[in-house]
Amino acid sequence: MNIHPILQNRRSFLSTAGIGIGSTALSTMLGNSAMAASPAWSANLPSAASIPAKAKRVIFLCMAGGPSHLETLDDKPKLREMHGKPMPKSYTEGQPIAQLQGKALKCLGPQHAFEKYGKSGQSICNQFPQVGSIADDICIIRSMNTRQINHDPAHTYMNTGTQISGRPSMGSWILYGLGADTNDLPGFVVLTSVGGGQNQPIASRQWHSGFLPSKYQGVHFHSKGDPVLYLGNPAGVSTEDQKSLIDSVNKLNGIRNGTLADPEIDTKISQYEMAFRMQASVPDLMDVSKEPKHVLDLYGAKPGDGSFASNCLLARRLAERGCRFIQLYHRGWDHHGGVKGAISGVAKRVDKASAALVKDLKQRGMLEDTLVVWGGEFGRTPMAQGNGRDHHIKGFSIWMAGGGVKGGISYGNTDELGYNAVEDVVHVRDFHATLLHLLGIDAQRFTFKFQGLDFRLTGVEEEAHVIRKILA
């Protein structure tokens, strides 16, 4: 039957709306996480995959809350000398400041000592000796720069390249471009943990697919209890009954899709199928009790405790099973007060496991093609906020390992007080361009047309540069 284009568009709209209602119902039954699951989708890089890929997957260890670079990765002896003295106005006048705006600004020296680690002699805070033990495997970038000074928009900026809500996250972009190597698990998984500081909330839009097809959305796995809510069958419903129901619904969706050719119908079909397969794959994935004792000890993980350590171990297991982008949020870095003790506390929660992940991947031969990123949405001020530090966007630090990045090096610098990134400045868009480059994607050519515009992860307002000096 031929359908007039206008009528077809109308029917597509009504169909999509109906599916939206149905997906809401399914989301209630299976949880939003299950709805976001995607099988091993084929790549969507007809013209952008022109670069030899060094990395196959990314594990992003997001230290949510804004870790102080001055107590982690960026030693500033001059700031230590200036402790308690007025912060020079030449640094701060006319600059964006969060909660310290209009207040007397005094220098707060680094609250912990730094030491040299590894053959490379990387300077790292002594509260992170295990990260120090992988100093020769990591590249420290000390010149990060971002645009948003409050947590939620800063996370949005780091994840999507813009503070505007509704844009695709980098995980969704990467899954859209490269697909996944798994049929039984989502290609983009998110895990969260807390402890060590004020636990700032993380909105689910941080792993949303935005205007990309919904099958590329990240899936939030709960680290305690049921990993995906409502994924199991209710009492009295067998696996065979569930499969029969899904097959029947998918047949109806297939008939509808044959008429309307709506890509969202394909998404719904795949989501039902993925949710069904996850009923078997997810429990096996989350059961880390089968890991050897020496591996559990390496991470400091206890099965089922929901800790950052256990999530790092799960990240390795997800990487082994073909997940393309794995993002761990540890919500414990918002240190407006008591930064000295807070850094010690959060270090005990993340130091060992962060290093263990790199060591474990390396031992398994996976670090070469797995890019590990460690860092937050911004840094903290050199100025005191009582005995803590305020939000800071002009200069902060991250580290990267594996996936085509040189180990045992540092790149860029802040000024002598740790305020401004002044040498080899790396903007968030440059970080994104480098991430894509390591995955074999040309950031300038990797686009998605939406509302008449060719959108990019790196944006279209300013040019993004690959950080070539850190490439192996």
Does residue 81 have a pLDDT over 60? yes
pLDDT category at 253 given cuts 50, 70, 90 is low
**pLDDT computed for residue 284 by the predictor:** 82
pLDDT category at 10 given cuts 50, 70, 90 is very low
Token representation of residue 127 = 């509260």
CB count in 10 Å sphere of residue 221 = 22
pLDDT tens for 141-187 read 999 999 999 999 999 999 999 999 999 999 999 999 999 888 889 99
**pLDDT computed for residue 4 by the predictor:** 41
Nearest partner of 83 among 112, 119, 108, judged by Cα: 108
Does residue 324 have a pLDDT over 90? yes
- CA–CA separation, 459 and 11 (whole Å): 34
- CA–CA separation, 443 and 462 (whole Å): 12
DSSP string, 61-102: EEEET---GGGTT---HHHHHTTTSBPPHHHHTT---STTTT
Q: Which residue has the higher pLDDT, 459 or 263?
A: 459
The packing angle between helices 263-286 and 308-320, to 10°, is 120
CB count in 10 Å sphere of residue 238 = 9
Nearest partner of 442 among 35, 44, 51, 15, judged by Cα: 51
Token representation of residue 427 = 């903007």
Amino acid at 136: D
Delimit the domains of the chain by residue range: 40-224+305-470
Residues 6+ apart with CB under 8 A from 27: 34, 35
Q: Which residues pair with 271 in a beta bridge?
A: none
pLDDT tens for 24-53 read 333 333 333 333 333 444 568 767 777 899
C-alpha neighbours within 13 Å on the C-beta side of residue 5: 0
**pLDDT computed for residue 49 by the predictor:** 72
pLDDT tens for 279-322 read 766 878 888 888 999 999 999 999 889 999 999 999 999 999 99
Task: Write down the architecture of domain 40-224+305-470 according to CATH.
Answer: 3-Layer(aba) Sandwich (3.40)
Question: Rounded mean pLDDT of the chain?
Answer: 85
Does residue 223 have a pLDDT over 90? no
Least confident of 42-51, 81-90, 326-335: 42-51
Q: Is the dihedral of CA 149, 153, 155, 158 positive or negative?
A: negative
Least confident of 351-355, 390-394, 447-451: 447-451
**pLDDT computed for residue 225 by the predictor:** 63
